[in-house]
């Protein structure tokens, strides 16, 4: 019980630092969607703490409060990612053709996750949910990170790079953690510890990269052509892997 409580205190401290710097440096209005996500995490942490003090960490009340708070997380994280995409790329007209093969890739990963979870009938309903949504988030991160990184040309700002790095670590490591727990029989104690440890590590990345405002560099006029080329190459690559020979 000592280490989970210590990690929770440390994580809540980092959340407080992130929100304090957001207000004091003017970052709040520049990355509003991201800070809405952090604010949601802060609110759920307070509710979890109150529930733990009233009923205990091992209670059924804490179980439902903890896992219910994780249900909107995939949507919020994808929303943050899309907001970064708009900040870097803008609001270009995206054709259905350019989304076809990335969409096939994301849907394929979702179906594979569904089939795998269906083959594990004893799995917890919340664990099933995240076992399906996490691989989809990984695919979306790969597709969008590739596009964003190529479009940025000279490189993203430290703020945006830190947000993307934090989201990538959060989604990637939690995917590994859920996979080990659901399909490889990792102990529940190790799973619970890693969930909190990953959040603590990611919050550390956020607090460092968003300590002050670091504006993005100006993009070159050729960047639109670059992103088009990257999308075409990505479509060809996905087609090679998914098209039967």
Q: Is 117 helix (H, G, I), strand (E, B) or coil?
A: helix
Q: In this structure, what token pair is assigned to residue 188?
A: 């529940």
Q: What is the pLDDT of residue 100?
A: 57
Kindly state the greatest CA–CA separation across the chain: 60
Q: What is the mean pLDDT of residues 110-134?
A: 69
**Would the pLDDT of 243 be above 60?**
no
pLDDT, tens digit, 9 for 90 and up, residues 53-99: 899 888 888 888 888 888 898 899 889 988 888 887 766 555 545 55
**Domain regions of the chain by residue span:** 2-242
pTM: 0.76
Percent of the chain's residues with pLDDT above 70: 67
What mean pLDDT value characterizes the chain? 76
**Would the pLDDT of 18 be above 90?**
yes
Cα–Cα distance, 48 to 41 (Å, whole number): 10
In eight-state DSSP terms, residue 222 is: T
Cα–Cα distance, 152 to 163 (Å, whole number): 15
**Would the pLDDT of 188 be above 90?**
no
Give 227's pLDDT tier (boundaries 50, 70, 90): very low
pLDDT, tens digit, 9 for 90 and up, residues 22-45: 999 989 999 999 999 999 999 998
């Amino acid at each position: 019980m000592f280490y989970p409580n210590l990690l929770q205190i440390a994580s809540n401290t980092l959340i407080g630092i992130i929100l304090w710097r957001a207000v004091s440096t003017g970052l709040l209005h520049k990355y509003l969607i991201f800070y809405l996500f952090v604010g949601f995490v802060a609110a759920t942490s307070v509710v979890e703490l109150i529930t733990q003090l009233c009923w205990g960490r091992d209670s059924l009340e804490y179980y439902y409060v903890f896992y219910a708070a994780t249900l909107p997380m995939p949507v919020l994280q994808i929303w943050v990612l899309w907001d970064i995409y708009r900040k870097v790329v803008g609001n270009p007209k995206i054709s259905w053709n350019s989304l076809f093969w990335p969409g096939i890739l994301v849907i394929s990963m979702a179906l594979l996750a569904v089939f795998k979870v269906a083959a594990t009938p004893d799995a917890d309903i919340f664990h099933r949910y995240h076992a399906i949504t996490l691989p989809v988030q990984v695919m979306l991160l790969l597709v969008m990170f590739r596009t964003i990184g190529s479009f940025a040309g000279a490189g993203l700002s430290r703020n945006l790079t830190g947000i993307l790095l934090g989201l990538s670590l959060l989604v990637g490591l939690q995917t590994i953690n859920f996979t080990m727990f659901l399909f490889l029989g990792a102990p529940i104690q190790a799973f619970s510890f890693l969930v909190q440890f990953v959040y603590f590590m990611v919050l550390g990345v956020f607090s460092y990269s968003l300590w002050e405002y670091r504006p993005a560099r100006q993009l070159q006029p050729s960047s639109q052509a670059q992103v088009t080329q990257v999308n075409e190459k990505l479509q060809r690559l996905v087609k090679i892997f998914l098209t039967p020979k």
